[in-house]
Structures are given as structure tokens and as C-alpha cells.
Amino acid sequence: MSDQSVFAAQDASGVNAQLEKLQSSVSVNGDSLDRMVRRDEESNHGTTYVSLTVGLLCILQATLNICLRLYSSCPVLDSSCPVHNSSCPVLDSSCPVLDSSCPVHNSSCPVLDSVTVRTEERQREMDALGDLTRLGWLYYNHRLYYISTTEKNWTASRDDCLERDADLVVINSREEQEFVSRLAGYHWFWIGLSDRDTEGTWKWVDGTNMTSSFWRRGQPDDYGGQDCVVTLLGDNWRDVSCADQYHWMCEKVLVLDHLEAELNKEVMREEAPQIYDLPSSKMLSVGNTASFSCRAWGRPQPTIQWLLDGRLLETNGTDNRSASVVRMDGENLVLRGVRSGVETVLCMATNSAGTANHTAWLFVYEVRPDGWRYYDHSLYYISTTEKNWTASRDYCLERDADLVVFNSREEEEFVMRQTYYQWFWIGLSAGDTEGTWKWVDGTIMTSSFWISGQPNKYGGEDCVATWKEFGWDDDRCAALFPWICEKV
């Protein structure tokens, strides 16, 4: 116990002792007064003395009442007025315990006041953060990210970020690369990396040199003056021409003190919708379901509608085509595969400032007992072993099929999703005439889906493989890859 607490207890004991003496004195004097009154009545004289004695008794009683009231008005052990607080002395009549002159949060408690202010400021900042995320910014690890839904060249994309008090994304770690690549999905996105100042020296937009890298195989190759960088799902940086048109990703470091200012700046302008959670193409077998999600931001907040093969879906129901509607609730759509085929699934976001949309594909196929997959009047076989191009074709021919021939973008998309985006031989090779590419059915290639910079015929690369979702690549016919057979 502190010295002040001890003194307070001693003072309280003293007060109690004094009160007991006063009560005892009053009791003794009262008895004496009774005896004196009886004697005066018996002797029938001393009236003046009795009057003086009654007056003295009244004075003593009044004194006792005052002392009791003072004592009860300031209890020394009340937790709301601690005895160790120098601003509340125990016997100081100017400090009643529950009086507003000794509040918990007044200037005599600066630590509590400071904590309260900081807590209120932090709450305002977190509210502002929530508003920014509803306006399209995504939060991750003390940073905010903005995902575009339109395409621009590298310079124009960076200008858009700068207008938002941000810059093209700078990737500082493996964790951030994985986060960014998941946001990118299967779309190329500009990042803040280039070697425009010095060829071969890759720098971020914040002026720092690239130290950790996540290039895809064979990159960077600086083919045709490719000085800017895009990324997509996985470790897939790729150098491309800065004049190409791609989506972009902005990043700003989260500074809570400035969140409200950022919010005020953002809400001043009305903006057309931008879809940041893009519905991706799906593939499912008959009888199974596939889920699509679509989220957009804009000012005011957009509404989401779904179209299946160009027809607006308004309520849950069934459809006569390859898929039927299982559930639809604004941002989410669930479809069930009914029969083999392909459908376009379009998400449309609308507000008073405009409209944005994004199209995905739904591929529905049937799996046959022999392992062949039926889709759009053709059967496909996906190998699990590797052979060279010629041996792969021989395998297909032995089964009354041939290496796959792509007749449309939709067919290629379906097949590539079946292959889980690996290298696979297709039925395309260099013809007898230099620069002429022919399919195994004898037709000349008219539509192509080459990877940027391909074909380059490097070292006699005369056969073609498809690689992931990026497109075609010419390779040596002796290389070993899995293959895809097709029979009509």
C-alpha cells in the first residue's frame, strides 16, 4: 500500500474516533441535563440554568449532524476517486467523488484521451478503406490494387495509374507475384517493369532494379524491340512491344492517414463500370455444373446481368441448349451441362455512366467408355505419354483418327482446356514451300494462333505444338511431347 493510502486510512480512523467521542459527550451531557431538570423541577428554581443547558444541547447536536454529513460525502475508498490521485485528496471537501470536477476522461487523464482519439481516427480510416475497396480497389498486405477491364499501351496504362495517385504494379516478392498472377488469371496485364532506358537493364517504375524475376520459359527475348513486360497466371512474365494493347494493374502503398483524402478524390467523379472479377471460361461434362462469377465497380454501383448465347437471363429456369440455368443471383450464375456443345456466357455491368461486358465460354462434352471425348461432332483423344511428331501421328492413324486440326477458336479453346495447358503436338507442320503451313488433312492454314514471335523456324523447327493458353509454337519434329488425336 502506498504512503498516501496509509495516511488516508489513518485520517479516516481519526475521523471515526472523533465522531465516537462527540456521540459519547452528547450522551453524557444528555444524562446530566435530565438530572439537572429533575432537581430544578423539585426545587422549583434555576429556570434560567435549564434554558442555557437546553441551548448547549442543541448546539452539540447540530455539530454532530454536520460532521456526519461531511464524512458521508467523500468516501475515501471509492474506486471512482482513488486515494493515490493527487488531484483528489481524501479529506478535501472540494472533491466530491461523483462530481464532474473529477471525470475519467478530462485533461487530468491525457493517456486515455490520446488512446480514444487514435482509436476514433483508426476507425474513420478503416471505414474509408472499406469505401475504397467498394470502388474497385483490392487490398492485400498493406497495398491497394486496381484492375483494369479495358486495354491500353504501356505508357497510357501507366498514365491512368498516375492519375489515381498510384503506379503500375511493382512486384517485390514471391507472395506478391502469386497474388498478382491470380488477379490476372488468363489475361495479360501490364506491370511496372521495362528496359526502355537501357537495353537489358530491367527497372521498375519506382526506379529500383529488378532483383527477383518470374519470366516464362525463353523470356525475355527482346524480339523486335520488346521493352515492356506483361504477366498472367503463374510465373509468366513476358517482354512485349510497349505499343501493344493490354489490361493493366495499378498499385498504391496503403497510407491510412490519407485514406479519407483519397476517398474524397475518388467519389468526386462518375465512372462507367469496370469488371474486376472476370468470369472465366469453363469446361464440364454432361450432367455436371459450372459456376460463373462477375463483379464490377463504378460510380454509381453497377447492376449485373447475364446473357447465355446472346439471350438475357431474367429468372431461374431451363434452356434448350447445351446448358440449363440452375441458379442466378446477380453476381453469380450456375449452369448444368445438358448436351455436348459450346455456349457464350456474357456478364454485363451497367450504371448511369455506361456499360461493360466480358464474355466467357462454356464447353460441354461427353466422356465415352473408351476414353475419347465427344464435342461438337468430333471425338478427341488426349495422350498421357510422349512421342515425336511422326510417331504421335502414327498412333492416331492406327485408331482411324489423325492429329487434331483446329477449324475455329472455340475448338482450340476446348482442346487446350482438356490438355491442362501443357505442350501437345497438333496436326500442323511446314509445307514443301517455305513459309507455308499445312494441316494433316492437306488444307493450308488460314487462321493462326501463334505465340508472339512465332513461328521463327529456329534450327529447323517444322512441326507445331500448342502451349498452354498462349498459342502455337514451332518446334523440332524430333522433340517429345504428348499429342491430341481427332476423329470426325
**Is the domain of 183 the same as that of 288?**
no
Domain assignment of residue 109, yes or no: no
**Is the domain of 150 the same as that of 263?**
yes
**Is the domain of 218 the same as that of 256?**
yes
**Is the domain of 317 the same as that of 362?**
yes
Could you give the CA distance from residue 433 to residue 436 in angstroms, rounded to a whole number? 6
For the cut 80, the answer to whether the pLDDT of residue 348 exceeds it is yes
Examine residue 455 and say whether the peptide bond preceding it is cis (omega within 30 degrees of 0). Answer: yes
Domain assignment of residue 108, yes or no: no
Determine the pLDDT at residue 472: 86
**Is the domain of 203 the same as that of 281?**
no
> How many other CB atoms are found less than 10 A from the CB of residue 198?
8
Contacts 24+ apart (CB under 8 A), 64-71: 64/19, 64/22, 64/23, 64/26, 67/15, 67/18, 67/19, 67/22, 68/19, 71/15, 71/19
Q: Which is more confident, 192 or 43? A: 192
**Is the domain of 53 the same as that of 164?**
no
Could you give the CA distance from residue 415 to residue 484 in angstroms, rounded to a whole number? 8
**Is the domain of 250 the same as that of 292?**
no
Per-residue pLDDT tens over the stretch 69-120: 544 444 444 444 444 444 444 334 444 444 444 444 444 445 444 445 445 6
Per-residue pLDDT tens over the stretch 252-269: 877 655 555 555 555 556
Write down the pTM of the prediction. 0.37
Give the relative orientation of helices 47-72 and 3-43 as an angle to the nearest 10 degrees: 160
Please state the domain count of the chain: 4
Domain assignment of residue 126, yes or no: no
**Which residue range is the domain that position 345 belongs to?**
272-367
Domain assignment of residue 116, yes or no: no
**Is the domain of 333 the same as that of 247?**
no
CATH number of the domain at 302, please. 2.60.40.10
Domain assignment of residue 449, yes or no: yes
Determine the pLDDT at residue 243: 92
Domain assignment of residue 130, yes or no: no
Q: Which of 298, 291, 292 is nearest to 277 (CA)?
A: 292
> How many other CB atoms are found less than 10 A from the CB of residue 467?
20
CATH number of the domain at 158, please. 3.10.100.10
**Is the domain of 262 the same as that of 283?**
no
Final residue before a domain boundary, out of 267, 289, 318: 267
**Is the domain of 310 the same as that of 356?**
yes
Domain assignment of residue 122, yes or no: no
| 10: Cα within 13 Å, side-chain hemisphere | 7
Final residue before a domain boundary, out of 198, 232, 267: 267
Domain assignment of residue 132, yes or no: no
Final residue before a domain boundary, out of 225, 248, 267: 267
3-state secondary structure of 2: coil
Q: What percent of the chain has pLDDT over 90?
A: 19
**Is the domain of 244 the same as that of 315?**
no
**Is the domain of 168 the same as that of 254?**
yes
